C-alpha cells in the first residue's frame, strides 16, 4: 500500500495520548498541523493531520471525557519519512471517535493461530496426497545410519544458495550466471531413520546441523584436514531420537523420490507421565477402527504422546488411552510396504534395521538438551514477518551525505546472523540518539521488533543482492549478547571474480565484495581536481591470479587505508574490499568506495587462506606483489637525476602522436595508411593525443621530460583536435602551448628501464600540478603524504623553462 498511490486506507486504533495540541507554522500562521499516535494493541503508527482537520480533531478530542479514545481514520494516505511509516490526511478524510462500541476495542488476549505442523508416522508420511505438496509435517524418528559414502557438504552460491557446478575447473552458479570464486559450504548429511511403522531416508539441513554440533562446515573441514574424509563428529547423530520437520515435495508425493528434506530438528516430545500406575482407569475397549483413505493420517493434539502411540491410520473413533495396555503378546507382522531402495544421488544403500535401543536415561526429554536455542534468520524475512528474533553481529555502520556535504543523522547498519545471512538495516534520525550509543561494530546483539521493507527501483548502491531491508522503529529492541550464547561469524562476503567485474560497471544498483592480492603500488598522494580542490588519492592494483583491477581510494578513506597497510606484518598483503563500487574511468574498469565500503587486510577468512595457499603452491602468480611496507617517498632535485646514468638525448619534432582508437597504442604509416602497432590493423580514423617534449629545471639543474595526453589536457583544458581547429594551417607549433612556459609545477616522474639500461635522458611525467608542493622528508610516514612519491618515480619541484624540443 505504501508504494501504490492509487489507494487510500481505513484504519482504527486507540489514541495513545490525549494531551495533543495543534502546531502553527512559523512562516505562515494559517498553516497548522497536529501529530499523534494510535495503536491496535500489537503495533502503533504516527498520524499527522493538516489544516482544518487538525483543528477539528483537537477540538473533538478535548470534548471527550473518557480516558480511552478509539479513533477511526478513513481514506488515509500511507507515507514514509526517514524510514518511519505514518498516516496523512487528504481532502476526503473524516474521523470518528467512539469508545463504548466493542467493534473499536482491541482484544490483546486474542489467541493466535497454531501453525505447528502435524505429527504423523513414517508409514503415513509415505501415503500423503497432493494436498500436502510444499507443506510441512513432523515425525518422531530414530537415526539408524548416517551415510558416509555421499558428500557431507554442498558447495553453494554465496548469493542465492543454489548448489554450484564445476565448469572448466571453476565453480559456476547457473541461476546467477556467474562464476563463484569462493563458494559457501553447507552441511548435507544423508541419514536412514525409522520409527515403529517404517523406514525413511532424510537429508539433514545445514543450519540445524550447525546449531546442534556448534560448528560450521568450514570449521569441521579444518579439523578433519581432508575434505574427502567423513567427519566422525557427524556420526554422533546415529542412534539418537529426534522430532524432524519435513517439507513434502511434489517428487515425494508422486513417488519419484523417497528421500525427504528436513527443515527442523528438535529433541523428542517430552514425556510427562500423566497417568498414575497405581490408579488404572476404567476404559471401555474401543471398536475396530474404520480407515478413511481419503484423509491424510494426522495426529493433532500430540503434546503428551510418543512415536509408538501414533496410529498408522485415522479412525472415526478415538483410540483407547494407554491405561488399557496389557502384557498380552502382540503380533509381529512384517510390513511389506517399507521401501529400502533410495535415489542414486544419496547412496545410502540397504541397511539392516536393527532393534531400536532403549534409552532409560532419556525417559524425560526436553528442548533444553539441544546445543543452542533456535533463532530466526534474515534469510527467511518477508514483509509479513512481525515477530522475528534474530541474533546478529554488526559488521559495519555508516551514514549518507547530503549534497552540501552534511551527513544524515540517521545511519545504516550491515548485519550478519548465525546462518551467515546478511541484511541492510536503516536507523531513522528519530531513533539515532537512542541506538547509536548501544552499537559497537563487531559486537553481538539480539534484535527483535523491526519492520521489513521492500527495496524500490530508486534504491541504488545496495550492499546486498536482496529484495529486503529492515528499518528500526519505536518498538525495536537491540540487546547485547555474550559471544558464547550463539555462534555468529566475524565476517561474511559474497565475492565476484575480478574478471567478471566489467559486467557490474554498467549498473549502479548493487555493490560487490572483492578479494585479491595487493600488488606493488605507489603511496598515497595529493592531487588537484578539475575544480582546483586538493584531494588525497591512493591507487593500486588488486589481483586474484587470473585477472587484476585498478582500485582508487580518496580523501579520508584513502588516508585510513594508507595508515592501515603500514601495520601489515604478512606479505604479500591479501585484501578484501567489502561493498565496493564498480565503475569506469577513461574506459577502464576500476573499483572505488562509497559510504558502505569497508576493507579487511590479511583477514582471518577462508578466502584469504585459500589465496595464500595457492600462492605458496605457485598455482597462481601476480605481476608485482608487495613484499614490504612502502615508506614515505623522497623529493629529488634535478641535480640528483643524472646519478642514474644519463649520457645522451633523443630528438623529436612533433607535439602530438596518432594513436589507435581501440587499444590506444601508437600508429605508424605503412603504405600511407595508419597501422596500429598493438592491434596490427589499419586504423581509418586515428586519435591524436598530446606528446610534448620539454626541458624542466630548478635551481640545481635541468632534465628532459615527456608530457602526454592526460597531463597536457589537465593544464590546457583542451584536446589536440580543439587546438588544431583554432590554429592556422601554416602554424606548425601552436602558440597556446607556450602558455605553459615559465610556470611552477610539481611533477611525478617515472624512471623506466630505458632510463637505466638504454641511458635515455627523457623521463615520462605521470602526474603534474601547478605550484610547488614540498614536505620535509621523514623516515616514517606520520602525516598525509604529498602527491609525488614512489620508489620508481623520482620527484622534483621545478620551474619549467619549457623549451619545446621541436627545434632539436
Kindly report the average pLDDT of the chain as a whole number: 78
pLDDT for res 5: 65
| Beta bridge partners of residue 442, listed in sequence order | none
User: Which band of pLDDT confidence, cut at 50, 70 and 90, is reported for residue 4?
Assistant: low
Range from 672-686, 718-732, 778-792 that averages highest in pLDDT:
672-686
Superfamily of domain 122-152+188-272+291-307+337-369: Nucleic acid-binding proteins (2.40.50.140)
| 115-156: pLDDT as tens digits | 789 999 999 999 999 999 999 999 999 999 999 998 999 999
State how far the Cα of 570 lies from the Cα of 572, in Å rounded to an integer.
6
> Are 592 and 581 in contact, with CB atoms under 8 Å apart?
yes
Cell numbers placing 162: 543454489
pLDDT for res 352: 39
DSSP string, 436-468: GGG--TT-EEEEES-EEEEPPTT--SBSSS-SE
Query: Smallest Cα–Cα separation from 354: which of 143, 204, 553, 210?
Result: 143
Instruction: Reply yes or no on whether the pLDDT at 580 is more than 60.
Output: yes
- Same CATH topology for 122-152+188-272+291-307+337-369 and 507-616? yes
- Residue predicted with more confidence, 801 or 464: 464
pLDDT for res 591: 97
State how far the Cα of 696 lies from the Cα of 65, in Å rounded to an integer.
89
Instruction: Quote the radius of gyration of the chain (alpha carbons, Å).
Output: 36
Strand 189-195, strand 444-448: pairing: unpaired
Decide yes or no: CATH 2.40.10.10 for domain 638-807: no
At residue 52, the 3 state secondary structure works out as: helix
pLDDT for res 640: 62
Q: Where are the domains of the chain?
A: 9-104, 122-152+188-272+291-307+337-369, 379-480, 507-616, 638-807
DSSP 344: T
Distance of CA 345 to the CA centre of its chain: 32
Superfamily of domain 9-104: Nucleic acid-binding proteins (2.40.50.140)
Strand 468-471, strand 422-427: pairing: parallel
Instruction: Reply yes or no on whether the pLDDT at 555 is more than 60.
Output: yes
Q: Taking the domain 379-480, which CATH number applies?
A: 2.40.50.140
| 160-213: pLDDT as tens digits | 999 999 998 889 999 999 999 999 999 999 999 999 999 999 999 998 998 899
pLDDT for res 790: 32
Instruction: Reply yes or no on whether the pLDDT at 342 is more than 70.
Output: no
Q: Taking the domain 507-616, which CATH number applies?
A: 2.40.50.140
Query: Smallest Cα–Cα separation from 783: which of 569, 566, 564, 559?
Result: 559
Give this prediction's pTM: 0.59
Cell numbers placing 456: 524500490
Cell numbers placing 130: 497432493
Query: Smallest Cα–Cα separation from 447: which of 365, 519, 366, 388?
Result: 388
pLDDT average, residue stretch 438-452: 95
- Residue predicted with more confidence, 527 or 181: 181
State how far the Cα of 426 lies from the Cα of 80, in Å rounded to an integer.
13
> Are 707 and 737 in contact, with CB atoms under 8 Å apart?
no
Half-sphere exposure of 672 (CA within 13 A, CB side): 0
pLDDT for res 362: 33
User: Which band of pLDDT confidence, cut at 50, 70 and 90, is reported for residue 444?
Assistant: very high
DSSP string, 307-370: GGGS-SS--SSPPPPGGG--SPPPP-PPPTT------TTS-------PPPPP-GGGSS--GGGS
Instruction: Reply yes or no on whether the pLDDT at 620 is more than 60.
Output: yes
Range from 84-88, 162-166, 281-285, 333-337 that averages highest in pLDDT:
162-166
Amino acid at each position: 500500500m505504501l508504494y501504490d498511490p492509487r489507494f487510500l486506507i481505513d484504519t482504527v486504533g486507540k489514541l495513545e495520548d490525549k494531551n495533543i495540541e495543534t502546531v502553527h507554522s512559523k512562516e505562515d500562521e494559517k498553516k497548522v498541523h497536529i501529530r499523534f499516535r494510535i495503536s491496535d494493541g500489537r503495533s502503533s503508527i504516527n498520524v499527522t493531520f493538516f489544516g482544518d482537520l487538525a483543528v477539528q480533531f483537537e477540538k473533538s478530542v478535548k470534548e471527550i471525557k473518557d480516558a480511552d479514545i478509539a479513533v477511526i481514520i478513513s481514506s488515509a494516505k500511507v507515507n514514509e519519512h526517514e524510514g518511519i511509516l505514518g498516516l496523512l490526511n487528504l481532502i476526503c478524510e473524516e474521523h470518528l471517535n467512539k469508545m463504548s462500541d466493542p467493534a473499536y476495542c482491541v482484544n490483546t488476549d486474542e489467541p493466535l493461530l497454531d501453525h505447528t505442523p502435524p505429527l504423523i508416522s513414517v508409514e503415513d508420511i509415505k501415503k500423503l496426497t497432493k494436498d500436502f505438496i510444499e507443506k510441512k509435517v513432523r515425525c518422531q524418528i530414530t537415526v539408524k545410519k548416517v551415510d558416509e559414502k555421499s558428500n557431507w557438504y554442498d558447495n553453494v552460491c554465496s548469493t542465492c544458495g543454489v548448489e554450484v557446478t564445476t565448469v572448466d575447473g571453476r565453480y559456476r552458479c547457473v541461476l546467477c550466471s556467474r562464476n563463484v570464486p569462493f563458494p559457501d559450504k553447507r552441511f548435507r548429511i544423508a541419514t536412514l531413520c525409522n520409527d515403529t511403522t517404517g523406514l525413511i531416508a532424510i537429508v539433514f539441513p545445514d543450519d540445524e546441523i550447525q546449531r546442534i554440533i556448534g560448528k560450521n562446515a568450514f570449521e569441521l573441514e579444518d579439523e578433519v584436514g581432508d575434505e574427502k574424509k567423513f567427519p566422525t563428529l557427524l556420526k554422533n547423530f546415529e542412534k539418537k531420537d529426534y522430532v524432524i520437520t519435513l517439507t513434502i515435495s511434489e517428487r515425494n508425493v508422486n513417488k519419484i523420490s523417497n528421500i525427504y528434506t528436513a527443515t527442523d530438528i528438535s529433541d523428542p516430545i517430552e514425556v510427562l507421565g500423566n497417568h498414575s500406575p497405581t490408579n488404572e482407569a476404567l476404559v471401555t475397549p474401543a471398536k475396530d477402527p474404520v480407515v478413511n483413505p481419503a484423509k491424510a493420517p494426522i495426529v493433532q493434539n500430540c503434546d503428551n504422546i510418543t512415536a509408538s502411540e501414533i496410529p498408522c491410520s485415522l479412525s472415526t473413533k478415538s483410540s483407547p488411552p494407554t491405561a488399557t495396555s496389557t502384557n498380552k503378546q502382540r503380533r509381529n507382522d512384517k510390513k511389506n510396504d517399507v521401501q529400502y531402495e533410495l535415489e542414486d544421488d544419496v547412496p545410502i544403500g540397504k541397511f539392516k534395521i536393527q532393534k531400536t535401543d532403549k534409552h532409560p536415561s532419556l525417559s524425560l526429554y526436553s528442548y533444553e538438551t539441544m546445543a543452542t536455542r533456535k533463532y530466526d534468520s534474515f534469510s527467511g524475512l518477508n514483509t509479513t514477518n512481525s515477530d522475528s528474533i534474530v541474533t546478529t553481529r554488526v559488521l559495519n555502520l555508516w551514514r549518507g551525505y547530503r549534497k552540501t556535504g552534511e551527513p544524515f543523522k540517521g545511519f545504516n547498519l550491515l548485519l550478519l546472523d548465525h546462518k551467515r545471512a546478511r541484511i541492510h538495516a536503516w536507523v531513522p534520525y528519530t531513533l539515532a540518539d537512542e541506538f547509536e550509543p548501544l552499537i559497537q561494530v563487531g559486537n553481538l546483539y539480539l534484535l527483535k521488533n523491526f519492520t521489513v521493507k521492500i527495496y524500490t527501483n530508486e534504491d541504488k548502491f545496495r550492499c546486498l543482492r536482496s529484495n529486503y531491508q529492515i528499518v528500526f522503529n519505536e518498538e525495536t529492541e537491540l540487546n547485547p549478547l555474550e559471544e558464547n550464547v550463539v555462534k555468529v561469524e566475524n565476517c561474511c562476503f559474497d565475492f565476484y571474480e575480478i574478471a567478471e567485474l566489467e559486467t557490474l560497471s554498467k549498473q549502479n544498483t548493487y555493490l560487490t565484495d572483492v578479494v585479491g592480492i595487493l600488488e606493488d603500488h605507489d603511496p598515497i598522494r595529493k592531487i588537484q581536481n578539475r575544480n582546483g580542490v586538493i584531494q588525497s588519492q591512493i591507487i593500486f592494483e588488486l589481483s586474484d591470479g587470473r585477472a587484476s583491477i585498478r582500485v582508487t581510494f580518496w580523501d579520508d578513506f584513502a588516508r585510513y587505508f594508507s595508515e592501515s597497510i603500514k601495520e601489515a606484518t604478512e606479505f604479500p598483503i591479501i585484501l578484501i574490499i567489502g561493498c565496493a563500487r564498480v565503475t569506469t574511468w577513461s574506459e577502464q574498469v576500476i573499483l572505488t568506495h562509497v559510504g558502505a565500503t569497508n576493507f579487511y587486510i590479511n583477514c582471518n577468512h577462508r578466502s584469504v587462506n585459500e589465496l595464500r595457499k595457492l600462492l605458496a603452491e605457485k598455482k597462481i602468480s601476480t605481476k608485482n606483489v608487495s613484499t614490504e611496507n612502502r615508506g614515505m617517498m623522497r623529493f629529488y632535485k634535478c641535480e640528483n637525476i643524472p646519478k642514474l646514468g644519463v649520457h645522451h638525448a633523443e630528438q623529436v619534432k612533433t607535439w602530438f602522436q596518432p594513436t589507435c582508437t581501440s587499444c590506444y597504442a601508437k600508429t605508424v604509416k605503412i603504405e600511407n595508411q595508419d597501422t596500429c602497432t598493438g592491434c596490427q590493423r589499419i586504423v581509418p580514423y586515428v586519435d591524436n593525443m598530446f606528446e610534448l617534449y620539454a626541458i624542466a629545471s630548478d635551481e640545481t639543474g635541468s632534465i628532459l621530460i615527456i608530457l602526454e595526453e592526460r597531463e597536457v589536457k589537465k593544464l590546457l583544458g583542451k584536446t589536440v583536435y580543439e587546438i588544431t581547429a583554432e590554429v592556422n594551417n601554416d602554424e606548425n607549433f601552436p602558440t597556446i602551448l607556450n602558455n605553459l612556459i615559465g610556470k611552477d609545477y610539481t611533477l611525478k616522474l617515472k624512471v623506466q628501464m630505458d632510463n637505466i639500461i638504454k641511458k635515455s635522458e627523457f623521463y615520462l611525467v605521470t602526474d603534474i600540478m601547478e605550484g610547488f608542493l614540498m614536505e620535509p622528508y621523514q623516515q616514517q610516514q606520520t602525516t598525509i603524504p604529498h602527491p609525488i612519491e614512489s620508489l620508481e618515480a623520482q620527484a622534483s619541484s621545478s620551474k619549467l623553462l619549457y623549451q619545446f624540443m621541436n627545434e632539436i
